[in-house]
């Protein structure tokens, strides 16, 4: 487990992980652990009190349009920033930053338990953009972009293309250097919340020589620049969570390149590694929290005496619990520095399968009529409109690495099974 630098350190003190000699006397380890626990308990009760007064109410029904949804997301994010709960994973010099992973877990648990809106609009900004800038950005880039995130500037991620998803390194969007600018031409797709984004984390190809990873460069693009066209993708359940982005001779200053030209693949690894585990824990907890809706449907629809339904409900909720436990254990292993290859894939796969089965049970219990009663809710996975939730659950079998890719990682890297022969076809 992480050990705090000082037994009396506040919750947001830096955490020292790993097998280090402890500068503590007899019983010091125990006292430090007690103190850490007390800090977490205090954080939990403070946050609960704050949420009791400030958590948005009735937000699912309130946002009738996507624009209203985006506005409510902005307002909730800024409220969390002001209260010091929006960026617990940022360094301590930022408001509410410098918290241990254990403290971050407490915050996400409480946000989920209070059924607050998930921070979809600001997710790429506070995780992907922030980590990229902090780990790989220059001082001027950090000074320009990081504070702006906390005042509401939002980012999207322009990595995937029509021919480059799981095999991201195949991307073709081209950037040619002309003086102090890159001129970018191409297309991106599935870019979450790009219709509201001010900036974009953009992967482009600056060279086709050598291995495909070597010709990739990482740019920070202004979404309002001439030549950028954003087209929201209308999803089957009524949401417009992501977009296509078309780039026609867009000029991006060389000053907005992160890392060297051709070193974008390594920078992208920092972007993608920025969030590991907390989201899946939060989402698993939110799914468990939504279990009461299925229970209410069972009662309301007169199914409480249906042994088959009750059996399936019990089985599903047990598996939801198991998914939460897997996510918990993954985070605990991460905190202890003993995360193993493939652990993240197990959690991701467990969540994506579970979400589908959970929403399918809701659909079965609620019947087709439910979709006409419950409103469409934007940016939410457990809306109570079971038809919409079921259809949307497929997105999670793809986002963040598809189920098949996760199974490949588990089989080949975790279980040591033979790699699939190249060029194999059924
Ligand atoms: C909700 C959501 C949000 C997203 N947000 C963003 C975003 O903000 N920015 C962004 O850049 N992208 C985003 N994406 C895109 C996402 O990263 C890609 O959809 C994902 O990488 C898969 O790529 P693809 O859609 O091109 O499918 P493909 O990679 O073409 O896969 C097609 C099928 O082939 C299978 N497959 C592919 N490779 C293998 C393999 N090696 N072994 C076995 N099977 C394989 C897949 O499992 C899948 O069934 C988002 C996607 C979703 C669903």
DSSP 145-168: HHHHHHTT--EEEE--BTTBSTTG
Contact in structure between 250 and 231 (CB atoms under 8 Å):
no
Q: Whose CA is nearest to atom 25 of ligand 1?
A: 165
Per cent of the chain over pLDDT 90 is 76
| Joined tokens for residue 72 | 């409510």
> Does the residue 94 lie in any domain?
yes
Q: Whose CA is nearest to atom 48 of ligand 1?
A: 402
3-state SS assignment for residue 416: coil
Q: What is the pLDDT of residues 128-147, one digit of tens each?
A: 999 999 999 999 999 999 99
Q: Whose CA is nearest to atom 32 of ligand 1?
A: 166
Q: Return phi, psi of residue 219, to 5°.
A: -120, 155
284 and 260 share one domain: no
112 and 12 share one domain: yes
294 exposure class (CB count in 10 Å sphere: 0-12, 13-18, 19+)? buried
388 and 292 share one domain: yes
Residue range(s) defining the domain that contains residue 97: 3-17+28-49+57-119
Q: Give the helix/strand (H/E) hosting 319.
A: helix 307-335
| Joined tokens for residue 158 | 């322009």
> Does the residue 291 lie in any domain?
yes
Mean pLDDT of 203-230: 97
Cα–Cα distance for residue pair 260/249, rounded to 1 Å = 21
Of 230, 264, 298, the residue at which a domain comes to its end is 264
> Does the residue 149 lie in any domain?
no
410 and 286 share one domain: yes
Cα–Cα distance for residue pair 187/165, rounded to 1 Å = 13
Of 72, 102, 119, the residue at which a domain comes to its end is 119
Q: Return phi, psi of residue 70, to 5°.
A: -60, -40
- Kindly give the number of the ligand 1 atom that is closest to the alpha carbon of 420: 42
Residue 28: predicted pLDDT: 62
**Helix 291-300 / helix 278-289 crossing angle, nearest 10 deg:** 20
69 and 176 share one domain: no
- How far is ligand 1, taken at its centre, from the CA of residue 93, in Å? 36
Residue 5: predicted pLDDT: 30
> Does the residue 172 lie in any domain?
yes
Contact in structure between 52 and 21 (CB atoms under 8 Å):
no
Contacts of 310 (CB under 8 A, 6+ apart): 298, 303, 304
Q: What is the pLDDT of residues 382-404, one digit of tens each?
A: 888 899 999 999 999 999 999 99
How much is the pTM? 0.90
- How far is ligand 1, taken at its centre, from the CA of residue 317, in Å? 28
Of 264, 288, 303, the residue at which a domain comes to its end is 264
Q: Give the helix/strand (H/E) hosting 347.
A: helix 343-366
> Does the residue 421 lie in any domain?
no
> Which domain CATH number covers 392?
1.20.140.10
Contact in structure between 335 and 16 (CB atoms under 8 Å):
no
Around ligand 1, the residues with Cβ closer than 6 Å are: 156-160, 165-166, 190-192, 242, 395, 398-399, 402, 404-405, 408
Average per-residue pLDDT in the chain? 89
Mean pLDDT of 272-277: 79
Q: Give the helix/strand (H/E) hosting 191.
A: strand 181-192
How far lies 352's CA from each of 86, 155, 342, 349, 404, in Å?
Answer: 25, 25, 15, 5, 11
Active-site residue identified among 135, 153, 275, 412:
275
pLDDT band at 3 (very low <50, low <70, confident <90, very high): very low
pLDDT of residue 261 exceeding 70, the answer is: yes
252 and 299 share one domain: no
Mutate which of 123, 154, 165 for ligand 1? The one with the most ligand atoms within 8 Å of its CB, which is: 165
> Does the residue 225 lie in any domain?
yes
168 and 211 share one domain: yes
- Kindly give the number of the ligand 1 atom that is closest to the alpha carbon of 160: 11
- How far is ligand 1, taken at its centre, from the CA of residue 243, in Å? 14
pLDDT of residue 177 exceeding 70, the answer is: yes
326 and 391 share one domain: yes
- How far is ligand 1, taken at its centre, from the CA of residue 304, in Å? 40
| Joined tokens for residue 195 | 């219709």
pLDDT band at 23 (very low <50, low <70, confident <90, very high): very low
Q: How many CA atoms lie within 13 A of 256 on its CB side?
A: 23
Mutate which of 399, 411, 418 for ligand 1? The one with the most ligand atoms within 8 Å of its CB, which is: 399
> Which domain CATH number covers 162?
2.40.110.10
Q: What is the pLDDT of residues 335-352, one digit of tens each?
A: 888 989 899 999 999 999
Cα–Cα distance for residue pair 39/103, rounded to 1 Å = 9
86 and 205 share one domain: no
Contact in structure between 134 and 273 (CB atoms under 8 Å):
no
> Does the residue 419 lie in any domain?
no
184 and 252 share one domain: yes
Mutate which of 157, 160, 173, 403 for ligand 1? The one with the most ligand atoms within 8 Å of its CB, which is: 160
- How far is ligand 1, taken at its centre, from the CA of residue 397, in Å? 9
Q: Is the dihedral of CA 2, 351, 281, 271 positive or negative?
A: positive
Residue 49: predicted pLDDT: 98
256 and 283 share one domain: no
Q: How many residues does the chain have?
A: 426
- How far is ligand 1, taken at its centre, from the CA of residue 165, in Å? 5
275 is catalytic: yes
- How far is ligand 1, taken at its centre, from the CA of residue 94, in Å? 34
Q: Whose CA is nearest to atom 9 of ligand 1?
A: 191
pLDDT of residue 18 exceeding 70, the answer is: no
> Does the residue 131 lie in any domain?
no
pLDDT band at 255 (very low <50, low <70, confident <90, very high): very high
- Kindly give the number of the ligand 1 atom that is closest to the alpha carbon of 162: 26
Q: What is the pLDDT of residues 286-324, one digit of tens each?
A: 999 999 999 999 999 999 999 999 999 999 999 999 999
Query: How many domains, the chain?
Result: 3
Cα–Cα distance for residue pair 72/56, rounded to 1 Å = 9
Residue 27: predicted pLDDT: 54
343 and 241 share one domain: no
Contacts of 1 (CB under 8 A, 6+ apart): 33, 332, 335, 336
Sole residue written with tokens 């019947």: 367
């Amino acid at each position: 487990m992480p050990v705090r630098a000082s037994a009396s350190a506040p919750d947001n003190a830096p955490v020292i992980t790993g097998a280090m000699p402890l500068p503590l006397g007899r019983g010091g380890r125990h006292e430090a652990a007690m103190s850490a626990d007390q800090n977490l308990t205090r954080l939990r009760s403070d946050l609960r009190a704050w949420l009791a007064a400030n958590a948005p109410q009735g937000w699912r029904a309130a946002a009738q349009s996507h624009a209203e949804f985006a506005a409510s997301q902005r307002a909730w994010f800024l409220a969390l920033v002001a209260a010091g709960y929006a960026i617990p994973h940022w360094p301590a010099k930022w408001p509410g930053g410098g918290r241990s992973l254990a403290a971050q877990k407490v915050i996400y648990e409480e946000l989920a338990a209070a059924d607050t809106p998930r921070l979809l609009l600001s997710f790429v900004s506070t995780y992907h953009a922030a980590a990229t800038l902090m780990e790989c950005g220059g001082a001027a880039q950090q000074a320009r972009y990081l504070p702006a995130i906390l005042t509401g500037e939002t980012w999207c991620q322009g990595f995937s293309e029509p021919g480059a998803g799981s095999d991201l390194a195949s991307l073709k969007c081209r950037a040619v250097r002309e003086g102090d600018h890159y001129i970018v031409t191409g297309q991106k797709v599935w870019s979450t919340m790009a219709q509201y984004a001010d900036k974009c984390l953009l992967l482009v190809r600056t060279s086709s020589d050598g291995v495909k990873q070597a010709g990739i460069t990482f740019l920070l693009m202004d979404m309002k620049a001439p030549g950028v066209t954003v087209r929201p993708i209308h999803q089957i359940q009524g949401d417009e969570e992501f977009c296509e982005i078309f780039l026609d001779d867009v000029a991006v200053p060389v000053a907005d390149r992160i890392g060297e030209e051709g070193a974008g693949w390594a920078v992208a690894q920092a972007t993608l590694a920025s969030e590991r585990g907390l989201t899946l824990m939060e989402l698993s907890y939110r799914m468990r929290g939504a279990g009461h809706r299925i229970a209410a449907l069972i009662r309301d629809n007169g199914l409480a005496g249906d042994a088959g339904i009750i059996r399936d409900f019990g089985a599903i909720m047990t598996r939801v619990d198991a998914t939460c436990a897997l996510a918990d254990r993954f985070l605990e292993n991460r905190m202890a520095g003993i995360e193993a290859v493939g652990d993240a894939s197990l959690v991701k796969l467990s969540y994506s399968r579970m979400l589908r089965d959970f929403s399918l049970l809701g659909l079965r219990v609620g019947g087709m009529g439910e979709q006409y009663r419950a409103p469409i809710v934007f940016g939410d996975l457990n809306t109570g409109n079971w038809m919409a939730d079921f259809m949307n659950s497929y997105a999670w079998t793809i986002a963040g690495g598809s189920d098949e890719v996760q199974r490949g990682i588990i089989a080949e890297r975790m279980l040591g099974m033979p790699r699939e022969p190249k060029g194999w076809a059924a």
